[in-house]
């Protein structure tokens, strides 16, 4: 009786890795259904209303793995990119970047790409303003500025920190300017509220919960 029970136990124990192996194999096969990354084919797949069109502004190698982007008053597109998202691999060092994309000849396509700053870890929000750019860098909000005009950040200051990272899909993100110099961001992992508002002037003032 005891021998029979032990045999059944080991048979069931053996089934578990077999099931996992089959499941992983099926998931690998499903990757064949991933969309073709060819840019022209993707553009051709869009269905838009009459009178509208979709054009490509920038692609690799001008930018890599964009997370969020925002335009500035000069028509430049600021982009945070992350090769580390959603998590670092074993032994990997994060070196995520801020790209500034420009259309210098007015043809509607970016032809100049500048790495404004690097050394970030999973940046998920970006917003030009106050002489530089605000960036969500995992647990903190940073402000980068270029003080010597060479197109690259040479000054960094921490604005706020202490945001949650329990789930990288719930990091602070989606920076926007609102009326009266209000700075809006989404922060779903905090215990205070799903979003916060911060008033921006020359110095940051206290946070106010909002929606």
Give the pLDDT of residue 119: 94
Please tell me what DSSP assigns to residue 55.
-
Contacts 24+ apart (CB under 8 A), 83-87: 84/121, 84/122, 85/122, 85/124, 85/168, 86/122, 86/168, 86/169, 87/168
- Which 3 state secondary structure label does DSSP give 197? strand
Give the pLDDT of residue 148: 95
- Beta-bridge partners for 144: 133, 156
Query: What are the pLDDT tens digits along the chain (211 aa)?
Result: 555 655 565 555 555 554 455 554 545 555 556 666 788 888 888 899 999 989 899 988 999 999 999 999 999 999 999 988 877 788 878 899 999 999 999 999 999 999 999 999 999 999 999 899 999 998 899 999 999 999 999 999 998 888 877 777 778 888 888 777 777 877 765 433 333 344 444 344 444 443 3
Q: Give pTM, 2 decimals.
A: 0.72
Cα separations in angstroms, 164 against 53, 127, 171: 39, 20, 7
Please tell me what DSSP assigns to residue 3.
H
């Amino acid at each position: 009786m005891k021998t029979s029970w032990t045999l059944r136990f080991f048979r069931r124990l053996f089934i578990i890795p077999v099931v996992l192996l089959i499941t992983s194999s099926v998931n690998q096969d499903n990757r064949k259904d991933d969309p073709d990354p060819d840019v022209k084919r993707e553009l051709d797949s869009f269905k838009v209303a009459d009178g509208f069109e979709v054009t490509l502004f920038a692609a690799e190698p001008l930018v890599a793995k964009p997370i969020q982007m925002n335009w500035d008053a000069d028509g430049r597109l600021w982009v945070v990119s992350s090769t580390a998202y959603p998590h670092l691999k074993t032994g990997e060092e994060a070196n995520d970047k801020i790209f500034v994309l420009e259309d210098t000849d007015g043809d509607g396509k970016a032809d100049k790409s500048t790495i404004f700053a690097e050394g970030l870890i999973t940046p998920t929000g970006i917003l030009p303003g106050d002489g530089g750019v605000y960036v969500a860098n995992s647990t903190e909000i940073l402000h980068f500025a270029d003080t010597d005009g060479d197109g690259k950040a040479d000054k960094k200051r921490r604005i706020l920190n202490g945001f949650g990272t329990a789930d990288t899909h719930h990091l602070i993100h989606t920076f926007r300017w609102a009326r009266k110099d209000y700075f809006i961001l989404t922060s779903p992992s905090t215990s205070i509220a799903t979003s916060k508002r911060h008033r921006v002037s020359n110095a940051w003032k206290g946070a106010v919960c909002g929606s």
